[in-house]
Structure 1
Amino acid sequence: MKADEVFRMNGGIEDINYANNSLLQRNVIHMTKLITDKAITSLYTSLNDPKTISIADLGCSFGPNALLAVSNLVKAVDDQRKKLRRRHSPEFQIYLNDLPTNDFNTIFQSLPKHEEDLRREIGDGYGLCFFNGVPGSFYGRLFPSDSIHFFHSSFSLHWLSQVPKGIEENMGNICMATASPPSVIKAYYDQFEQDFSTFLKCRSKELVKGGRMILTMPGRQSKNPTFPTFELLALVLNDLVAEGYLEQEKLNLFNVPLYTPFLAEVKLLVEKDGSFTIDCLETFQSHWTRGYIYNGNGDDNIVSDEDTGGYDVARSLRAVIEPMLVSYFGEGIINEVFHRYNKMIVDFMSIQPEKSLLTVIIISLIKL
């Protein structure tokens, strides 16, 4: 299974679409803002009053998060411009990248209001922003050589370009899991190594010398491959096999192209590539059931479980994985799958609340 053939975020019905079920991803962008701001302001300062800055967001998806990261970058540059007392703001060439199946139309339709809000917030001296859609896989070249100043990617690089080969023994699981044989764990890592190395190689050609890149991805604290949200989904699918709703053979052949690295793996591959200096590499914890609430008016609020009744993990996962499940199993079982999954994840998190913490890796790189 190649990811670019089946992978996209859920559109359609508001209750289960990605735009309304991506609070975790939005929270991560906010939590990494200080590191991201530092990288873009350092770049801007080093460029000696540039006329144009080119920024690319890789894996932008759609919904309120699609423009959040680049808006933060533009505002950070303008704040630094004022501190440096530079008279003119640079213009911004902004590239929004995702797979061709992404809902770019929704992003483009939101641009007029977004630019109006940004201009009102920044005030006088606001630099013009020129937005471009770039459909294609970031596991290949997307831009001309030496053309981009700043790359940003959040919660995208854990998705592999394809399901690894040689994982036939991963029966009963749908991705790398605690019960997966060592050969399956190795196959998943080998695919991640290949994909991430290709990603770094492509971006090193596209970045200008001294250009910056911020990458954020879900990870692990150790070599233990557990990913509870997907392991619980596998349990639901196995129950449906036992009850005759699904064929065992079909489930055995289904695996998700997903790998969550631990910090040492990311560091090793960056150093092996040799094109970048690591400016920052760290992990932090993000709560599955707490996040920033986006109300559509430009105001974001941190909320607790008491405010919202808890982050709906089942709907969050459904918004991401449903198109892939439909393409493989068909639409007939989807509502039943997530009806059961919702009950299972609520019970799981009430018994093991510590498992609702997600490890997140952030790395800030400078092109040599």
Structure 2
Amino acid sequence: METIQILHMNKGAGDTSYAQNSTVQSKIISIAKPVIEEAIIGSLSINIPESMGIADLGCSSGPNTLSVISQIIDVVHAKCCSLGCSSPEFSLFLNDLFNNDFNYIFASLPRFYQNIKKEKGPEFGPFFVSGVPGSFYGRLFPRKSLHFVHSSSSLHWLSQVPPSLESNARTALNKGKLYISKSSPQCVLDAYSLQFHNNFSVFLNSRSEEIVSGGRMVLSLMGRSTSDPTTEDSCYQWELLAQALMSMVSEGLIEEEKVDSFNAPYYAPCAEELKREIQNDGSFVLDHLEAFEIDWDGDGGHVYDTFETQCRGRRVAKTIRAVVESMLESHFGNDMNMDELFRRFEQMVGDYLSKNKTKYMNFVVSLTRN
């Protein structure tokens, strides 16, 4: 099944919502902030357009969404003030899949407008915000309509599960697993790699049509530190979630066949894969590619005791749940007790973090349109 039909972050502002459980994604945006600022300033060094098209791809919902847009506006405004010229009009496009909680975003706009006017003055603007539902693995905007594109924590999601691993395949190739693991056969690794190659190629080609010459794009996504796709920093969270599911299988709570037939539409590339696709596309100059690590719960920096480790396990479980619950519900149906699954997952993550220091690997990539 295509990701466009089943993937969305948990909606609203409740305890399991993405809005309440996106600290990791916020931390990633914060770390990437200097790269975003440098890219925007670089794009304005050529000329300042009368109207500036800005798109956030995979915007989701919650506090992170409009914080990125505010940051971009701040940089443009500061640059224009330093040059003694007026800021451009802003066309701000917020994109995500059709089932995204756009209502949450739209309900936040009055306060967003109020804050902008308060900080920049009532004469600032105008700026126009639009929701753009659809997959970024394809065209979303008119040709040469964008000056700056941002995407964070989105491009590791594939447009679909690799076709050879679909749930209707005759043989389950990745039994007992949800993603690439140490026990996965080579054909599974190859299928995921090919799907990412095809998706990222389409993404770059689509953006090359939409971004003006000299326009910039900054992308942040999960990745891995080596060419080995089974390295723990790229896949072990899926390994633990699979273990939680299999523990439920062992107690007869869910069917093993259901676990065997679920494969996550996800891929964490290495730096070489990103560079290769960018070079093959040829439409963009790679200005910057930086790797950084981040704790599974977005925290870190000190030694944790047993209680704190279990609290971290709970935060990680809630973060993962906010992202993948929609896919699990679509696959396993109403018979799946999500609270029970993530209670087990929380315990396993806490136990794992008490003995290991595994972190997520993340890339931030800055590109200029030729």
Superposition TM-score, scaled by structure 2 size: 0.92
**In structure 2, the residue corresponding to 1:171 is in which secondary structure?**
coil
Return closer, same or farther for 1:315/1:42 CA change in 2, 3 Å cut-off.
same
Compute the displacement of 1:305 (Å). 7.3
Partner of residue 105, structure 1 = 103
Partner of residue 72, structure 1 = 71
CA contact (8 A) 1:78 1:126 kept: no
CA contact (8 A) 1:152 1:215 kept: yes
**In structure 1, the residue corresponding to 2:214 is in which secondary structure?**
strand
Cα RMSD after superposing both structures: 1.9
Deviates more, 1:181-190 or 1:166-175: 166-175
Structure 2: state its 5+ residue gaps. 166-171
Distance in 1 between the 2:330 and 2:139 partners? 27
CA contact (8 A) 2:297 2:319 kept: no
Partner of residue 328, structure 2 = 325
Percent identity, please. 42
Distance in 1 between the 2:28 and 2:267 partners? 18
CA contact (8 A) 2:96 2:133 kept: yes
**In structure 1, the residue corresponding to 2:163 is in which secondary structure?**
coil
Compute the displacement of 1:21 (Å). 0.1
Partner of residue 175, structure 1 = 179
Structure 2 residue 301 is the aligned partner of structure 1 residue 290: no
**In structure 1, the residue corresponding to 2:341 is in which secondary structure?**
helix
Give per-residue Cα distances to partners, 1:266-307, cap 9 Å, x unaligned. 000000000000010110111223359xxxxxxxxx99979x
Compute the displacement of 1:129 (Å). 1.6
Compute the displacement of 1:123 (Å). 3.8
Structure 1: state its 5+ residue gaps. 293-301
Letter of the 1:325 counterpart? L
Q: How does 1:1-368 map to 2 (within 5 A)?
A: 1-12=1-12, 14-47=14-47, 49-86=48-85, 88-123=86-121, 126-167=124-165, 168-224=172-228, 225=230, 226=232, 227-291=235-299, 310=312, 312-331=315-334, 332-352=336-356, 354-355=357-358, 357-368=359-370
**In structure 2, the residue corresponding to 1:9 is in which secondary structure?**
coil
Deviates more, 1:243-252 or 1:232-241: 243-252
Compute the displacement of 1:122 (Å). 3.0
CA contact (8 A) 1:291 1:303 kept: no
Distance in 1 between the 2:13 and 2:30 partners? 26
Letter of the 1:221 counterpart? S
Partner of residue 169, structure 2 = none
Letter of the 1:326 counterpart? E
Q: How many residues align?
A: 354
Distance in 1 between the 2:283 and 2:183 partners? 36
Distance in 2 between the 1:289 and 1:198 partners? 31
**In structure 2, the residue corresponding to 1:46 is in which secondary structure?**
coil
Letter of the 1:66 counterpart? T
Distance in 1 between the 2:302 and 2:215 partners? 35
**In structure 2, the residue corresponding to 1:96 is in which secondary structure?**
strand
**In structure 2, the residue corresponding to 1:223 is in which secondary structure?**
coil
Distance in 1 between the 2:299 and 2:75 partners? 22
CA contact (8 A) 1:290 1:305 kept: no
Return closer, same or farther for 1:58/1:183 CA change in 2, 3 Å cut-off.
same
Deviates more, 1:185-194 or 1:237-246: 237-246
Return closer, same or farther for 1:349/1:265 CA change in 2, 3 Å cut-off.
same
CA contact (8 A) 1:159 1:259 kept: yes
Letter of the 2:361 counterpart? T
CA contact (8 A) 2:12 2:101 kept: no
Distance in 1 between the 2:182 and 2:64 partners? 32
Partner of residue 168, structure 2 = none
Return closer, same or farther for 1:327/1:264 CA change in 2, 3 Å cut-off.
same
CA contact (8 A) 1:163 1:257 kept: yes
Deviates more, 1:33-42 or 1:163-172: 163-172
